[in-house]
């Protein structure tokens, strides 16, 4: 390319970039709203919502998945990372999350728990103490934020893990909490 062609090409690329830049901003803005909503709903609603968003607005789903770790991601994340997140989450917080989550997730996480906390978790859960929804949601956010942080630190692809959690066998479609 000569200088004139290079300048023309650069100008055209900048114009094209400016024309679609708002799409990324829109997806990020919508992702922030979706994330706030996801943090306020239970697991089944999280999954249903994200399946619909993946179908209708994949760019928004991608933006959400890159910023948050869904509860169902605990079922597909590497076992050592899930165990590490459990160790880094206070036992009381972890117990509140497990009391509020679906039975399949609870059973899986108790199975995956490091041996030094598994017995304590089982003992706490056998007490049958109910958890207030707000405590469950708060505990879930602490745990999933911890899990997301460890996944990212370990170089895991948070987007892929969340997408796999939502699409792999339609996790939890028939399970009850």
Q: Per-residue confidence of the chain (177 residues) as pLDDT tens digits? A: 677 876 776 676 666 655 544 545 555 678 888 888 888 888 988 999 999 999 998 989 999 999 999 999 999 999 999 999 999 999 999 999 999 999 999 999 999 999 989 999 999 999 989 999 999 999 999 999 999 999 999 999 999 999 999 987 444 443 333
Contact 162, 70 (CB under 8 A): yes
Contact 70, 158 (CB under 8 A): no
Q: pTM to 2 decimals?
A: 0.78
What is the torsion angle, in degrees rounded to the nearest 10, for the CA atoms of residue 118, residue 43, residue 129 and residue 143?
Answer: 50
What the block records as the tokens of 132 is: 């207030």
| Alpha carbon distance 43, 17 (integer Å) | 37
| Alpha carbon distance 54, 49 (integer Å) | 9
């Amino acid at each position: 390319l000569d200088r004139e062609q290079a300048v023309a090409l650069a100008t055209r690329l900048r114009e094209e970039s400016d024309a679609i830049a708002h799409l990324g901003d829109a997806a990020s803005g919508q992702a922030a709203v979706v994330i706030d909503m996801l943090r306020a709903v239970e697991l089944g609603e999280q999954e249903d919502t994200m399946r619909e968003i993946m179908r209708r607005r994949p760019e928004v789903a991608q933006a959400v998945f890159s910023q948050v770790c869904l509860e169902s991601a605990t079922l597909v994340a590497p076992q050592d990372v899930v165990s590490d997140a459990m160790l880094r989450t206070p036992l009381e917080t972890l117990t509140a999350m497990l009391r509020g989550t679906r039975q399949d997730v609870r059973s899986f996480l108790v199975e995956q728990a490091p041996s030094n906390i598994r017995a304590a978790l089982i003992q706490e859960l056998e007490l049958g103490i109910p958890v207030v929804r707000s405590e469950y949601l708060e505990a879930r956010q602490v745990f999933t934020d911890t899990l997301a942080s460890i996944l990212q630190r370990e170089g895991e692809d948070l987007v892929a893990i969340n997408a796999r959690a939502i699409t792999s066998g339609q996790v939890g479609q028939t399970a009850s909490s």
